[in-house]
Amino acid sequence: MLAQRTRLFEMSGTAAARAAAKAADAGKEIVDLTAGEIWSELAPAIREGAIDAINKGVNRYTDTIGMMELREALARMVSIETGQRWRADEIAVTSGAKQALFNVVMTLINPGDQVIIPAPYWASFPAQVQIAGGTPVHLDTRGNGYVPRIDDIERVITPLTRAIVVNTPGNPSGAVYDAATLAAIARLAIERKLWIIFDECYGSFTYNGHEHHPIVSLVPEVRAWTVIVNAFSKSLALTGWRIGYLAAPKELISAVKALQSHTTSNPNVVAQHAVLRHLDEGDGAFEAGLRGQLTTARQTGLTVLSGLQRVQVPKAQGGFYFYLDLSSLLRPTPGDSHAKTADDIVAALLREAGVAGVSGNAFGDPMGLRLSYGIPPEQLKAGLGRLVGVLNAWD
Ligand code: PLP
């Protein structure tokens, strides 16, 4: 009855896990570690910018890919971040990073094109590629700290390869790509004429000496082959406000503008005004506070997780996720279709400990478990403590 296309995707695993946690919450108190967002107040300039916009009666469409003042402010911000000059016609404002990514695959991918997606991956990357008629090519990074080896990337390139997704810091793994790896990916992309879909949504959050590098700042010539995707969803804890953007060669931005003119038109005007105010007047204190909050939460969480007896404590280099490798508990046996996976552990955690996490199956990794630490510290401590008990007793 429905279009064949609907077989290409299902509800995102993270949304499903969130729903399961909510449903279980009806009976008892669940510690929900599924969230892809940060528990926080609004940034003051965001609040003021939005209230002013409403008081001024702002209500009309803006330019399809965002108000020119906002695109100019974003161009200035990206210029500072990358150490290069960017102009407003190289920027498009979107309804969150998710729309930015969707615009990218719809404007870059031809039917049959292959897109390399390092696994574990954020589930919308492959789903969107498939909706665009492309083929996701997964590259297992589990043996290399969740960062692809250059040799492995080269091995999966074919004449049909059109793009590679680089998500650093990565969701779900929290891995931060080092500068040498990024530079090598950039050179490979130039040589093999591949687009880099550079998702840096978690770029504001790195820890313990790890640094986020915009790929174009390492190899400036790769800019012609790079689409930078970002949003304020994570960096300003604004997931519900739906403001993202992409920075890319202007031909691509023009195509995105035409596409977006037939889908959503402009992102919400009040949210655009709020972000513009923050970019103009924010002094960085809010971002520093958020980073401080997450740094403390990460440390609190790692201290509790250091009680794990059979599972390695995660590196958690960036973002706000702990990503556990459960293979020591699950002892995977190749070819055994009844073997347990992270789904079983997630179900047991919910049942026995009242703790909700996201199974790695949602990210193409049946051995993984993602736990968000963007929640209040007492809940985090209690939830992880109970989780450690269940995992240590796992049989
Ligand atoms: N990219 C990655 C890697 C994400 O984890 C997410 C959200 O979780 C997004 C993009 C989408 O972000 P937004 O809420 O801005 O659409």
The answer to whether residues 264 and 121 belong to one domain is yes
pLDDT for residue 16:
72
The answer to whether residues 266 and 382 belong to one domain is no
Determine whether the shortest distance from the Cβ of 275 to ligand 1 is under 6 A: no
The answer to whether residues 238 and 320 belong to one domain is no
The answer to whether residues 293 and 241 belong to one domain is no
The answer to whether residues 223 and 299 belong to one domain is no
Distance from chain centroid for Cα 175: 12
Name the domain count of the chain. Answer: 2
Domain with 301 in it:
4-41+286-393
Domain endpoint, select from 218, 249, 281:
281
The answer to whether residues 155 and 233 belong to one domain is yes
Angle at 254 between CA 250 and CA 258, to 5 degrees: 165
- How much distance in Å is there from the Cα of 97 to the middle of ligand 1? 5
Tell which atom from ligand 1 comes closest to the C-alpha of 202. 3
Mean pLDDT, consecutive 10-residue stretches, the chain (395 aa), reads: 90 74 72 95 98 98 98 98 98 98 98 98 97 98 98 98 98 98 98 98 98 98 98 98 98 98 98 98 97 98 98 98 97 77 96 96 97 96 97 94
CA pseudo-torsion sign 265, 267, 270, 276? negative
The answer to whether residues 250 and 132 belong to one domain is yes
Q: At 33, which CATH number?
A: 3.90.1150.10
Q: At 260, which CATH number?
A: 3.40.640.10
Q: For tokens 């509800």, what's the residue?
A: 11
Determine whether the shortest distance from the Cβ of 244 to ligand 1 is under 6 A: yes
Determine whether the shortest distance from the Cβ of 97 to ligand 1 is under 6 A: yes
The answer to whether residues 291 and 266 belong to one domain is no
The dihedrals phi and psi of 167, each to the nearest 5 degrees, come to -115, 100
Task: List, as one string, the DSSP characters of 203-234.
Answer: TT-B-TT-----HHHHSGGGGGGEEEEEEHHH
Helices (H), the chain: 13-25, 44-55, 68-82, 96-108, 124-131, 150-156, 179-192, 215-218, 232-235, 250-262, 269-281, 285-305, 327-330, 342-348, 377-392
The Cα 123–Cα 142 span in angstroms is 16
**Residue of 198, 212, 233, 323 to mutate, ligand 1, most atoms within 8 A of C-beta:** 233
Q: Are 49 and 276 in contact (CB under 8 A)?
A: yes
- How much distance in Å is there from the Cα of 310 to the middle of ligand 1? 31
> pLDDT tens across 322-342, in order?
999 999 999 877 777 677 999
Q: What is the separation, in whole angstroms, between the first and last Cα of the chain?
A: 45
